[in-house]
Structure 1
Amino acid sequence: MQEVIQVNVYNEKENPNKSFELESLINTAGAKSVAKISQVINKVNPSYYIGSGKVEEIEDIAKKLDVKTVVFDVELSASQLRNLEEKMKLHVVDWTTLILDIFAQRANTKESKLKIKLAQLKYQLPRINKWFSYLSRQSGGIGTRGPGETMLETDKRAIIRDIRSIEEKLKNLEKTKVVNRKSREDILNISLLGYTNAGKSTILNQMLKLYGKEKYVYSDDLLFATLDTSTRRLDFSNTKVTLTDTVGFIDNLSKELNDSFLTTLEEIKFADMLLVIIDSSYDIETQLKTIDKAIDDIDVGEKKILYVFNKLDIVDDKMNILINRAKAEKIYMSARDKNDIVRLKEKIVDLIKEEYIKVIMEISYKDGKILDYIMSNYDVDNKDYNNDGIVLKLNISKKDYNKYERYIKKN
């Protein structure tokens, strides 16, 4: 494993435990943190971001440990990166570059690969200008005009051209997704939201084990174990649903990364219900605040939301968890406990059925597909057969009430 030194920069209000997040990301990237340096700063050093004394300290530790790479948990400007590398003679990686590197490793589908490439290009574009400006200052302008400016403009045009090309490809992929959504219109869709490593994929796989037949989704004890949106069908007796696992949240994303990240969550607009998965063992307040903001930014409209406080099996102070989301629909559980998965399923079904409408439907024998759909997706209280068709008494969803209103007998 590649060995690195990690550098955590804090302001006075920040959680001192955030070094764990950087270390986890370093591990996810396939490296190992062999030393941790931290500094509380009130004002950013324009040259190095951190103080010059800390830079020398890192340089000394790197020599003693024979480490060639330093990873920061902040985004550095082009000039700060250059200054740090020149001063320490080390490879410097900032927060955004680290996450982009992990994204590039983890992307499997054509769509996720394109989105990561788009984020990388958008991250590079403004930095070209900063880098050229830095070179101009260092050399007083000599040798940086003429062909240098032409090369800069050529690079910028190439990046802009690539960005437009990728955006067009993503639009075409979205058209395919629209078709796929239409094929699932008759099935209630539930989207899983939550921080990376909160247990979304584990919950989905445990549900599949009990209520599904499709293949499991990739799950591992890593940040960003997968970047791909996965949808699986589940059969809760006569309540059929699809569960969609989304990309995990993380703090301190750059604007380009945050915009790219939010586009990966666009699928939740089309969900009928949201399951917000919270890692109960780690900074619940920040998780809730970040997820709430994303839901507002995407503008998902009025949807049922169930807050799932997961990993209860590794929490000591359970009373601290119980105070969260006092008036919201919520459940406390561990994804490792089969009984908790059953409780989660029952809670989901209860919420789905809350707004069901009691109806009497008369469906002709000729409408076999519709009859089959109703019988497969609902618990029918009573059936009567006559010459024209079947009369059913049942509770039905608002969506299907509007869709099949012509079969509903009015009083």
Structure 2
Amino acid sequence: MFEEIRNSDIVQERAILVGVYGPETPRIQAEEYLDELELLTYTAGGKTIDKVLQNRMHPDPSSYVGSGKLRQLKSMKGEKNIDTFIFDDDLSPTQIRNIEKETQAKVLDRSGLILDIFASRAKTAAAKTQVELAQLQYLLPRLTRFWTHLSRQQGGIGTRGPGESQIEMDRRMIDKRIATLKDKLDKIDQQRQTQRKGRSEKVRISLVGYTNAGKSTLMNGLTDTEVLAENRLFATLDSTVRQYEIGNHEVLLSDTVGFIRKLPHDLIASFKSTLDEVRECDILLHVVDASSRVVQDYIDVVDDTLEDMGVNDKKSLLVFNKMDIIDSHRINELKRAYPDAVFISAERGIGLDKLENRIKELIEEDFVTKTMTIPAAKYEGVAFLHREANILEKKYEGSDIKLTFSIDKADLMRLNAILDNIDTAESVM
């Protein structure tokens, strides 16, 4: 399905992907999830050799797949020279231990794989801090003796208590490191809040969507910039903000980390400062991969994540991307199912004009058109209008200026406050 890594110095881990289907997860949906897990594996540098699906009412609490299927995995490990088994759901410490003991292979679950990808993708100090925090919070309940290396980071002298076990010492060191990382992220959050205040007067739009939906490609198409865009999951970790104009409106467009099914909760929490771009925006563009077999499932994942973040009440526009790679029958199906959506190909620039027109309509829902005659003595108000409003007509009537303008309702309130303050100052004088 994917190209192999051709660097001779890199040895790809050979992996088998494992999932379950049943009453709550139909087989076709489980297959889609394993396809996604394959892309995650590829993104992490692994090679999928086979996929295994087990029909069960619920995952087995001791081995996830049951004893019979576990023996089959053990046989497949030897037959196909497998290094790693990757499971589509989070595993308990007991399940991991039992599977490793039976198969004598490395075992990863979906969250562990996602965190590994985030660690490899993190480039900035903020992203690295956020990922390390999420990794430690994920691994703390799975703590084993492998964590003694942390003593070299935090210093082991003075941390030991009488009769304390090695596991307890490791846990204390991890807790201390987590507290340090949280303090660091609080400072990063404060810095970003200050940066956002400096651009609060512009219309802010955030791209959200399932990972690999094409958000970065869309940002490049709309703003004529070169944000990293590639066919790997989580190409974007740090939010990227670009300024451009739609009509007469100055817009700040932000591209944020993609969402995914079963995105680890600790990862969402640690990326708070990055996702605040979404919390504080005026409009959400929800980008969807139209070629997916489970479009509504991906939409639901994003909507549920936005609801968890408390931003599901924002103005939003559904944008179906990759229309160039699906047939006309599927396009018509989607248009009937989602009549209010916009359909585009960000890669080929198809439909971007229509998208910008819809964005302009959303922006201008909060705008009103007014005509005011402002005396010369209140020129501060005129200057404000030239900065913040779209001037449609201007006439000079003696020393007064008659202006017709389109303005955001919030800015109109600020204008009225400026004019009232001038009146108050004049009356005092």
TM range (shorter): 0.7 to 0.9
Structure 1 residues 308 and 366: CA distance shift in structure 2, 3 A: farther
Question: Which residue does the alignment assign to 1:198?
Answer: 213
Task: Decide whether the 8 Å contact of 1:229 with 1:244 is kept in 2.
Answer: yes
Distance 1:366 1:33 in 2: 74
Q: Does 1:320 pair with 2:330?
A: no
CA deviation profile, 1:121-142 (whole Å, cap 9, x unmatched): 111222238999xxxxxxxxxx
2:165 to 126, 132, 150: 150
Q: Does 1:275 pair with 2:270?
A: no
The correspondence of residues 369-384 of structure 1 with structure 2, limited to 5 A, is 374-375=385-386, 378-384=389-395
1:94 to 103, 109, 125: 109
Task: Decide whether the 8 Å contact of 2:188 with 2:273 is kept in 1.
Answer: no
Question: Which residue does the alignment assign to 1:256?
Answer: 266
1:331 to 342, 348, 372: 342
Distance 2:14 2:105 in 1: 12
Question: Which residue does the alignment assign to 2:301?
Answer: 290
Question: Which residue does the alignment assign to 1:341?
Answer: 352
Question: Which residue does the alignment assign to 2:43?
Answer: 28
CA deviation profile, 1:222-275 (whole Å, cap 9, x unmatched): 111121111110122421100011111111234433444566423222111111
Question: Which residue does the alignment assign to 1:84?
Answer: 99
Question: Which residue does the alignment assign to 2:311?
Answer: 300
CA deviation profile, 1:290-342 (whole Å, cap 9, x unmatched): 2222222222374321111112222231233124445xx42112112334112
Q: What letter corresponds to residue 266 of structure 1 in structure 2?
A: D
The correspondence of residues 105-184 of structure 1 with structure 2, limited to 5 A, is 105-128=120-143, 149-184=164-199
Distance 1:367 1:2 in 2: 71
Task: Decide whether the 8 Å contact of 2:394 with 2:402 is kept in 1.
Answer: yes
Task: Decide whether the 8 Å contact of 2:206 with 2:253 is kept in 1.
Answer: yes
CA deviation profile, 1:3-54 (whole Å, cap 9, x unmatched): 2122122233321322110101001101110111221221332321112222
Percent of pairs identical after alignment? 35
Task: Decide whether the 8 Å contact of 1:278 with 1:308 is kept in 2.
Answer: yes
1:223 to 227, 233, 236: 233
Q: What letter corresponds to residue 320 of structure 1 in structure 2?
A: E
Give 1:398 deviation, angstroms. Answer: 1.0
Q: What letter corresponds to residue 277 of structure 1 in structure 2?
A: V
Distance 1:180 1:312 in 2: 36
Give 1:116 deviation, angstroms. Answer: 1.0
Structure 1 residues 364 and 125: CA distance shift in structure 2, 3 A: farther
The correspondence of residues 24-63 of structure 1 with structure 2, limited to 5 A, is 24-63=39-78
Task: Decide whether the 8 Å contact of 2:384 with 2:415 is kept in 1.
Answer: no
Distance 1:369 1:104 in 2: 51
SS in 2 for 1:226: coil
| Unaligned runs of at least 5 residues, structure 1 | 133-145, 210-214
CA deviation profile, 1:143-177 (whole Å, cap 9, x unmatched): xxx98853222111111111111111111111111
SS in 2 for 1:380: strand
Distance 2:400 2:126 in 1: 47
Structure 1 residues 131 and 244: CA distance shift in structure 2, 3 A: same
1:19 to 3, 23, 34: 34
Q: Which moved more, 1:252-261 or 1:315-324?
A: 252-261
Task: Decide whether the 8 Å contact of 2:389 with 2:408 is kept in 1.
Answer: no
Distance 2:350 2:375 in 1: 41
Distance 2:348 2:296 in 1: 25
Q: What letter corresponds to residue 266 of structure 2 in structure 1?
A: E
Distance 1:39 1:165 in 2: 42
TM-score, L = length of structure 1: 0.86
SS in 1 for 2:16: strand
Give 1:93 deviation, angstroms. Answer: 1.3
Distance 2:419 2:400 in 1: 13
Q: What letter corresponds to residue 332 of structure 2 in structure 1?
A: M
Question: Which residue does the alignment assign to 1:188?
Answer: 203
Structure 1 residues 396 and 302: CA distance shift in structure 2, 3 A: farther
SS in 1 for 2:100: helix
Structure 1 residues 131 and 50: CA distance shift in structure 2, 3 A: farther
Distance 1:194 1:33 in 2: 26
Task: Decide whether the 8 Å contact of 1:361 with 1:407 is kept in 2.
Answer: no
Task: Decide whether the 8 Å contact of 1:12 with 1:40 is kept in 2.
Answer: no
Q: Which moved more, 1:227-236 or 1:20-29?
A: 227-236
Distance 2:44 2:57 in 1: 30
SS in 2 for 1:235: strand
Distance 1:204 1:333 in 2: 13
TM-score, L = length of structure 2: 0.83
SS in 2 for 1:196: coil
SS in 2 for 1:112: helix
Question: Which residue does the alignment assign to 2:251?
Answer: 241
CA deviation profile, 1:82-102 (whole Å, cap 9, x unmatched): 221121111111111100000
Distance 1:27 1:337 in 2: 25
